[in-house]
Amino acid sequence: MKKAPLALLTALLALALTAGSAMAAKVIKVGASPTPHAEILNVAAEELKAQGYDLQIVEYSDYVQPNLALESKELDANYFQHKPYLDDFNKEKGTSLVPIAFVHYEPFGIYAGKTKAMKDLKDGAIVAVPNDTTNEARALLLMQDQGLIKLKDGAGLTATRRDIVDNPKKLKIEELEAAQLVRSLPDVDVAIINGNYAILGGLKVADALAVEADDSVAAATYANVLVVRAGDENRPELKALASVLRGDKVHAFMKAKYEGAVLPAK
């Protein structure tokens, strides 16, 4: 009978230690696009848990709210965008957000709509491209690499339709919201689609009519980044997250899961 209270105290102490350990876990709240960003973060969460961090992922379906939520301190970080988009956003919205890790690269692809092969693209064909500045430029650069158009010298990463100086097929460039490009395929000849939206739409890079080269300017420029508020770059939990996202386990997951649609940043 005398041992019962001792056993009870031991059990309560163990429970208290477990609860204390759980309470001690540092929460990291990160905003992300559902695919592939949230999926990649779920892999990172396993490693972070072992380091005493509780990674909480908030999914967003657009490119604006996760930056606004980070700026307003609803999030600790976000992971969904490349640096040119972030730079434009900071300039337009007056935000102070900075990248702390280049994580992965999603090759842009030209996908078949009404036209099933590049050689069959006829004069006056409709080509759908993203309507935001940085991604439209990226689409136009891919078209130029494929010999479809020529851009004026120096247009580069800020190119728009107005910078096209040669369009031998008189292709009609139709600007659409990036999230709508997959849906547009039945109505256009081809569409140039962001990697994450292509994945969400069930498209495979292997089926694209053309894809950005891994040594292109775009590959080096448009890597997706982990972003935090200026001044938070050295927070230990965010540095830990950045390290895990660039680690071997996450890289192996990217290669196995996405079959070339998502590649580790160099």
pLDDT at site 23: 56
pLDDT digits (tens, 9 = 90+) for 37-51: 999 999 999 999 999
Binning the chain into helix, strand and coil, the percentages to the nearest 5 are 45, 25, 30
**Residue 51 to residue 11: CA distance in whole angstroms:** 25
| Better-predicted residue by pLDDT, 99 or 105 | 99
Nearest CA to 232 among 84, 113, 37, 101? Answer: 101
Beta-carbon contacts of residue 134 (< 8 Å; ≥ 6 apart): 82, 84, 85, 88, 157, 222
CB 118 within 8 A of CB 86: no
Domain 109-212 has CATH 3.40.190.10: yes
Mean pLDDT of the 130-147 span: 92
Q: Could you tell me the pLDDT band of residue 214, with boundaries at 50, 70 and 90? A: confident
Same CATH fold assignment for domains 3-106+222-264 and 109-212: yes
**Residue 148 pLDDT exceeds 70:** yes
**Residue 98: exposure state from Cβ atoms within 10 A (0-12, 13-18, ≥19):** middle
CB 228 within 8 A of CB 171: no
Q: Which residue has the tokens 């290669």?
A: 255
**Residue 143 to residue 106: CA distance in whole angstroms:** 17
Q: Which of 124-138, 194-208, 223-237 has the lowest mean pLDDT?
A: 194-208
Question: How far does Cα 14 stand from its chain's mean position?
Answer: 42
**Residue 178 to residue 16: CA distance in whole angstroms:** 50
Domain boundaries, the chain: 3-106+222-264, 109-212
Mean pLDDT of the 64-89 span: 96
**Percent of the chain's residues with pLDDT above 70:** 91
Beta-carbon contacts of residue 245 (< 8 Å; ≥ 6 apart): 40, 41, 44, 79, 101, 103, 226
Residue by residue, DSSP assigns 122-187 as PTT-EEEEE-SHHHHHHHHHHHHHTTS-EEPTT-GGG--GGGEEE-TT--EEEEE-GGGHHHHGGG
pTM for the structure as a whole: 0.72
Q: How many residues does the chain have?
A: 266
Nearest CA to 78 among 193, 224, 178, 240? Answer: 224
CB 172 within 8 A of CB 115: no
User: Within 13 Å and on the Cβ side, how many CA atoms surround 257?
Assistant: 18
CB 109 within 8 A of CB 192: yes
**Residue 2 pLDDT exceeds 50:** no
**Residue 225 pLDDT exceeds 90:** yes
Q: Which residue has the tokens 């969460």?
A: 45
pLDDT at site 208: 96
pLDDT at site 9: 60
pLDDT digits (tens, 9 = 90+) for 110-119: 999 999 999 9
CA dihedral 187, 116, 207, 225 (to 10 degrees): -50
- As its CATH architecture, domain 3-106+222-264 has 3-Layer(aba) Sandwich (3.40)
What are the residues facing 164 on neighbouring strands? 151
Residue type, 197: Y
**Residue 19 pLDDT exceeds 70:** no
